[in-house]
Structure 1
Amino acid sequence: MAAESELALVVRDLTVAYQRRPVLKDVNLSLPEGRLIGIVGPNGAGKSTLMKVVLGMVPRLSGEVWVWGRPPAAARQEIGYVPQRTAVDWDFPTDVLDVVMMGRYGTLGLLRWPGARERELAMAALERVGMAEYARRQISQLSGGQQQRVFLARALAQDARLYFMDEPFAGVDAATERAIVNLLRGLKARGRTVVVVHHDLQTVREYFDWLVLLNVRVMAAGPVERVFTAENLTRTYGGRLGSLAHVAGASPAPLRTSGGD
């Protein structure tokens, strides 16, 4: 096991509850640096909540969270976040460039306004996601895929070491999905760590090299080739063994289950 200062994220004995109902319970997790990490599990499994706890957006009932051996608040400038597109007020009156420059605010301090350097970095990020020509377009005028690219550009402008992305492929077209995948691979090639809440089991092997299976508790975590098995998927999702075994690339015959969804 690597030292905690060498791990992108360490979570110990984490429990989170909404109105006394546990959403995450006794979560223990260690994520290595420089990986593309998928978090998958059924609806209500706590995937988005886990990200929000690390980001300080949701309080924890108990447990510890460390980012490179430090409390998340001490590493906040090194953490980028792409929220679910449905969680954003797209009617807010601002344009694409201003949204992307928000990714630079954490490096400016309280008394500085974005200047030419921040604008240059924001435009470079928009170029990388194919959205430079829309820099002065109001965000409400964009398609769903374009909106997602803008938020990816904002995260890129921040130049973080650790990125959390909450279902970045949801509701986008095939071209945007390919562009996002290429972007994530580019981040990994630069040594960044990318953690993605994901729902499409069919693409897990193609997109990620590390996987967390979550259903209130961590059911399994580790390299995709070791973790993405029919047995682990059945423990995480319950029934539907035949289809789960198929997407895991394993034969369902040796495994048996009953009940579940």
Structure 2
Amino acid sequence: MIGAAAPLAVSGMTVAYRKKPVVQGVSFEAKKGELIGIIGPNGAGKSTLIKAILGLIPALEGEVRIYGKPYKQQRKLVGYVPQRESVDWDFPTHALDVVTMGRYGHLGLFRRPGRKEKELAFECLEKVGMAAFANRQIGQLSGGQQQRVFLARALAQDAALYLMDEPFAGVDAATEKAIVLLLDELKRQGRTVLVVHHDLTTVTEYFDSVLLLNGEKIAFGPTAAAFTPELLHRAYGGKLGFRMPVPTADSGE
């Protein structure tokens, strides 16, 4: 039983490249069972923030707590879906093997995955519609199929907190629908999911809360409060080619 502490609490996160701050003083706290969109213009530090939370890149300042404890003590509770472009798709391995890797954190140093782990990995592939491709080399899969395999790997981790870096980028309509269904399922299970996202037209449909970022935190909170024209203009300035949807007369607004 995980304690009552927040699934993720970030305090004063600052990250710099070559002494130039990319993320500065970002603090927020994610609630259990929330789908959170991390939104901002190109170069806003969205992916950098995710990597710093995971300890993949060093932070100048800041603290990360996963259910009240440092990330290093809680690795097994965290699942990560990287950007597809950051993966070596020429690596000679099959889809099922990639998903099975998601179980390594539960096995310990000296145990190898066995039949139980393979069966669980196959079930995760089924959930994302990729069971028929279990023995396909990952480099032979389409971009959308590769993304589904990495989502299946994250599922196999059986995490309480998921960090996903642009899972919708460059995927087809079928894969986008599969991702949305997966996010909804994780939410129903009480998992917390943070998603770096670039399509502003789907933010209100997909996410409960929004972290609006441009180097620093512009806003964080429920989507209705944090995803407003005024705050978007602060984040994007004149680069924002997007109009907020206008509520219809029968929308109850």
Whether the aligned pair in 2 keeps the contact of 1:230 and 1:248 (CA below 8 Å) is no
One-letter amino acid of the counterpart of residue 124, structure 2:
A
**Residue 155 (1) aligns with residue 154 (2):** yes
CA shift in 2, pair 1:157/1:24, >3 Å: same
Kindly provide the CA deviation profile for residues 112-139 of structure 1, in whole angstroms up to 9, marking residues without a partner as x.
0000110011000000001011111100
Structure 2 CA distance, aligned partners of 1:249 and 1:138?
46
Structure 2 CA distance, aligned partners of 1:231 and 1:198?
19
Partner of 1:179: 178
Once the two structures are TM-superposed, the CA of residue 18 in structure 1 deviates from its matched residue by 0.3
Whether the aligned pair in 2 keeps the contact of 1:229 and 1:249 (CA below 8 Å) is no
CA shift in 2, pair 1:9/1:232, >3 Å: same
Unmatched segments (≥5 aa) in structure 2: 248-253
Partner of 2:244: 247
Once the two structures are TM-superposed, the CA of residue 35 in structure 1 deviates from its matched residue by 0.5
TM-score when scaled to structure 2? 0.94
One-letter amino acid of the counterpart of residue 61, structure 2:
S
Kindly provide the CA deviation profile for residues 159-205 of structure 1, in whole angstroms up to 9, marking residues without a partner as x.
10000000000110011101100110000000000100000000000
Partner of 1:253: none
Whether the aligned pair in 2 keeps the contact of 1:38 and 1:195 (CA below 8 Å) is yes
The 5-angstrom pairing of residues 19-168 of structure 1 reads 19-168=18-167
Structure 2 CA distance, aligned partners of 1:164 and 1:248?
27
RMSD: 1.3
Once the two structures are TM-superposed, the CA of residue 248 in structure 1 deviates from its matched residue by 5.5
One-letter amino acid of the counterpart of residue 103, structure 1:
G
Structure 2 CA distance, aligned partners of 1:169 and 1:109?
32
Once the two structures are TM-superposed, the CA of residue 67 in structure 1 deviates from its matched residue by 1.1
Structure 2 CA distance, aligned partners of 1:42 and 1:152?
24
Structure 1 CA distance, aligned partners of 2:239 and 2:91?
42
CA shift in 2, pair 1:182/1:64, >3 Å: same
One-letter amino acid of the counterpart of residue 63, structure 1:
G
Whether the aligned pair in 2 keeps the contact of 1:37 and 1:211 (CA below 8 Å) is yes
Identity of aligned residues (%): 61
Once the two structures are TM-superposed, the CA of residue 42 in structure 1 deviates from its matched residue by 0.6
One-letter amino acid of the counterpart of residue 131, structure 1:
M
One-letter amino acid of the counterpart of residue 90, structure 2:
D
Whether the aligned pair in 2 keeps the contact of 1:16 and 1:23 (CA below 8 Å) is yes
Unmatched segments (≥5 aa) in structure 1: 251-261
Structure 2 CA distance, aligned partners of 1:103 and 1:23?
30
Whether the aligned pair in 2 keeps the contact of 1:5 and 1:70 (CA below 8 Å) is no
Structure 2 CA distance, aligned partners of 1:19 and 1:198?
26
Whether the aligned pair in 2 keeps the contact of 1:35 and 1:188 (CA below 8 Å) is yes
Does the residue aligned with 2:80 lie in a helix, a strand or coil? Answer: strand
Once the two structures are TM-superposed, the CA of residue 247 in structure 1 deviates from its matched residue by 2.5
TM-score when scaled to structure 1? 0.91
Number of residue pairs aligned between Structure 1 and Structure 2: 245
Kindly provide the CA deviation profile for residues 225-251 of structure 1, in whole angstroms up to 9, marking residues without a partner as x.
11110000001111256x44x23548x
Structure 1 CA distance, aligned partners of 2:38 and 2:233?
16
One-letter amino acid of the counterpart of residue 236, structure 1:
A
Structure 2 CA distance, aligned partners of 1:135 and 1:159?
19
Does the residue aligned with 2:21 lie in a helix, a strand or coil? Answer: strand
Structure 1 CA distance, aligned partners of 2:152 and 2:119?
13
One-letter amino acid of the counterpart of residue 6, structure 2:
L
Q: Which runs of 4+ in 1 moved over 3 A?
A: none
Does the residue aligned with 2:183 lie in a helix, a strand or coil? Answer: helix
One-letter amino acid of the counterpart of residue 108, structure 1:
L
Structure 2 CA distance, aligned partners of 1:193 and 1:46?
21
Once the two structures are TM-superposed, the CA of residue 9 in structure 1 deviates from its matched residue by 1.2
Structure 2 CA distance, aligned partners of 1:83 and 1:75?
19
